[in-house]
Amino acid sequence: MTTLKTLSLKLTLFLSVCLIATSCSDDDDSKVYDLTNSNQNATNIVKEASRLEMPHLKNGCIVLVHSTTHKEGVNFIVEWDADKKAQRWTAYRIHKGQTGSAGYDGRFEEDPDLPTSYRVSDTYSYYKGSGFTRGHICASADRQYSKTANHQTFYYTNMQPQYYMFNAGNEDKYDSPWCRLESKVRNWGRSSGCDTLYVVKGGTIEEDMLLKNSRYPQGKIKGQLPIPKYFFVALLMKTKTTYQAIGFWLEHDNIDHSGDELSKYAMSIDNLEALTGIDFFCNLPDATENEVEKSYATIKWGL
């Protein structure tokens, strides 16, 4: 049985109180959490929100926590902008204990935990004939430990419009920087020196960071579904004795970049935060967060 939790984030303007409502698809009980005096930038609303992969939550957004009965528990977490009807990021963990061969599910579908009013009317119809693929954020290959976990990666809440050349690269070669970076992320997370790799991925959906062209002058499919101009990856690696972090910022275009070194796209988490407006890894102790986010070393990541 799959347990799916939905966290709805609302801003109470008059009382300056930020509330999060939680509910389960198989349990109608709900709870409301008062964040008036929440600690600095830490995300400490509920148990899942205190996980190290969780960025600071944005007021007015919905947080979807997807879990399975597998021992892994939480599969991935999505922050969803109900006004823009698009995802802001997907956060999850990778480690060498995630073994399995669930395969490629392939059944794209609406997220059963997202109310219809918060999404476009029929997401498949938006992608069909648009010139964009349904680009996974948490990759299917990242979730092979359970068939349910793999199926959940095909929810449209875990998708962003991507050119095929960006998403995969040259036909059947999977040589785009984005695709190669996804493979690197899996290898880093499952390497012998890594205890856990904390991952946050997404695309830009603010008005000034949409991909606009003659066909989509607003940067939106059918005037509604945002097309990110940039995609990003934020990584925090925990080893037995230390943390290290690195960010990646990739422009979304329809050009062959198969010859690019991944180091070209690397940057510090501080720089990535300045570009995205997202506070990554805010649940680390402040001193640790400040230290690991201010710089990066590509050599430590084998780049």
Confirm if 95 and 195 have CB atoms less than 8 A apart: yes
Query: Per-residue pLDDT averaged across 161-181, rounded?
Result: 96
Q: pLDDT tens, 226-244?
A: 999 999 999 999 998 899 9
Side by side, which strands form the sheet with 196-203?
27-34, 17-24, 4-12, 61-67, 74-81, 86-94, 196-203, 230-238, 243-251, 266-267
Band of residue 45 on the pLDDT scale cut at 50, 70, 90: low
**254 phi and psi, to 5 degrees?**
-110, 35
- Whole-number pLDDT of residue 172: 85
Instruction: Provide the residue ranges of all domains of the chain, joining segments of one domain with +.
Output: 4-301
CATH 3.40.1190.20 applies to domain 4-301: no
Give dist(CA 249, CA 87) in Å, integer: 17
* Residue 243 neighbours by CB distance under 10 Å: 18
Which residues are registered as beta bridge partners of 234? Answer: 200, 247
Gap between the Cα atoms of 284 and 292, Å rounded: 10
With residue 109 as reference, give the H or E element that holds it: none
Per-residue pLDDT at 11 exceeds 70: no
Quick one: pLDDT band at residue 59, thresholds 50, 70, 90?
confident
Give tens-digit pLDDT for 148-165.
999 999 999 999 999 999
Cα–Cα distance measured from residue 47 to residue 53, given in angstroms and rounded to the nearest whole number: 12
Q: Which residues are annotated as a binding site for Mg(2+)?
A: 167
Quick: pLDDT tens for 65-86. 999 999 999 999 999 999 999 9
Alpha-carbon torsion (143, 119, 127, 223), positive or negative: negative
- 61-67 and 27-34: which strand pairing? unpaired
Question: 101-140: b or e for each residue (b if 16 or more CB lie within 10 Å)?
Answer: ebeebeebeebebbeeebbbeebeebbeebebbbbbbbbb
Supply the residues annotated as catalytic: 136
pLDDT at 8 over 80: no
Does residue 29 register a pLDDT over 80? no
The structure's pTM equals 0.87
| Rounded (10°) angle between helices 286-293 and 269-276 | 90
Segment 90-123, tens digit of pLDDT: 999 999 999 999 999 999 999 999 999 999 999 9
- Kindly tell me if the per-residue pLDDT of 31 is higher than 60: no
CB neighbour list of residue 105: distance below 8 Å, 6 or more residues apart: 140, 147, 150, 151, 153, 154
Q: How confident is the model at residue 291 (pLDDT cuts 50, 70, 90)?
A: very high
How far apart, in whole angstroms, are the C-alpha atoms of residue 157 and residue 143?
A: 16
Q: How far apart are CA 193 and CA 241, in angstroms?
A: 10
The overall average pLDDT reported for the chain is: 87
pLDDT in tens, 114-128: 999 999 999 999 999
Distance in angstroms (rounded) separating the CA atoms of residues 185 and 301: 10
Please report the pLDDT score of residue 1 as a whole number: 42
Q: Say what the pLDDT of residue 7 is.
A: 46
- Cα 20 to Cα 85: distance, rounded to the nearest angstrom: 18
% of the chain at pLDDT higher than 70? 84
8 Å CB contact between 113 and 64: yes
